[in-house]
Structure 1
């Protein structure tokens, strides 16, 4: 299934996929609501998901498809070369993240690989990001690093406090500090960042 709000883009991708041996497009959608409705009907093996849609985001689609069509594996295909978007997509369960600048052959190769059960990343993009960006955790204290890791594990503030033996207010103070040092605004961004880094082989 191809999900993109631009019909010309959608049809172009569909043509590439339909020409590839063993692949066929079973549905198209131009919005989150259409994608969810059609995904529930056809249960595609793979969904190519754009991130920016008129009634929501590709992340919404990935999360909803996980409930209504759990066998569907999602590939993000977007114009946005963005660290936060990559981390969010990986956290939501995307199996690959591709930029629309890729060749048609790369799209079909990724569809086949993801359909076969593999999880892929554009390693060139990940490597470039890791090389070009300073480590945003460089200034964190040891306590803040522990909190960062536990946020990535999905623990609540209360659970983090219990695990570290500190008050929940202390945990909140650590989070406020690490958000400032990392240049982030919300706790969910921290969780998404950790998930993206772990997927790329990062260890704190």
Structure 2
């Protein structure tokens, strides 16, 4: 299902997806209200949601999906590369965050991967998972680990500082350090990595 208030954009994405033999567009919507009616009725496997809509945001839709435990896996599709929006979207249950300047075949591939259970962050299709079996958090201090997890919860630097009882500047210093140690460049990548770890943990059965 595709939710975007611009019909030309919506139809363009639909045509790209329909070209793939293994994908089918089952519904479209241009507003939050219409999207909620249709997603409850159709319950698509994956829903691509524009961040900015006339009567709200894509985050509003994600929150309802999460609250009502609807099975559709959400992908946020937007023209805005906004760190806070990415963090908020991931906290609301987004499985991927894709900029509208992505190539058509990449949109289809992101849909496939999300349907398969992966959590992705894209302006260059960044996968939020461990790579090569190495733990990128191995050298983090206890304070940096706390900041890492709170970023994954969608908290701002100010909110993290309030929660940990430290100055916002201290939080920024922790983030700068943990980014360097993890080999990342932006906090959105941190949020995606945490989301990927949580999703992987949720999928892994507990050993007896």
Alignment partner, residue 197 of structure 1: 190
Shift of 1:4: 0.3
Shift of 1:88: 1.3
Alignment partner, residue 90 of structure 2: 90
Shift of 1:153: 7.9
1:107-147 Cα distance to aligned partner (Å, 9 max, x none):
111111111111112274769xxxxxxxxxxxxxx998687
In 2: Cα distance, 1:25 partner to 1:6 partner = 16
Structure 1: segments with no counterpart, 5+ residues: 128-141, 155-170, 183-192
Q: How many residues align?
A: 162
In 2: Cα distance, 1:146 partner to 1:174 partner = 15
Report the RMSD for the aligned CA atoms in angstroms. Answer: 3.3
8 A contact 1:28–1:35 mirrored in 2: yes
Residues 125 and 12 of structure 1: is their aligned pair in 2 closer, same or farther, counting only changes over 3 Å? closer
In 2: Cα distance, 1:150 partner to 1:114 partner = 22
8 A contact 1:51–1:78 mirrored in 2: yes
In 2: Cα distance, 1:109 partner to 1:117 partner = 13
Residues 173 and 42 of structure 1: is their aligned pair in 2 closer, same or farther, counting only changes over 3 Å? closer
Q: TM-score, normalised by structure 1?
A: 0.66
Residues 92 and 41 of structure 1: is their aligned pair in 2 closer, same or farther, counting only changes over 3 Å? same
Structure holding more helix per residue: 1
Alignment partner, residue 133 of structure 2: none
8 A contact 2:5–2:30 mirrored in 1: yes
Structure 2: segments with no counterpart, 5+ residues: 128-140, 154-161, 173-185, 196-208
1:73-110 Cα distance to aligned partner (Å, 9 max, x none):
01111100111111111111111111111111101111
Where 1:200 maps in the other structure, the secondary structure is helix
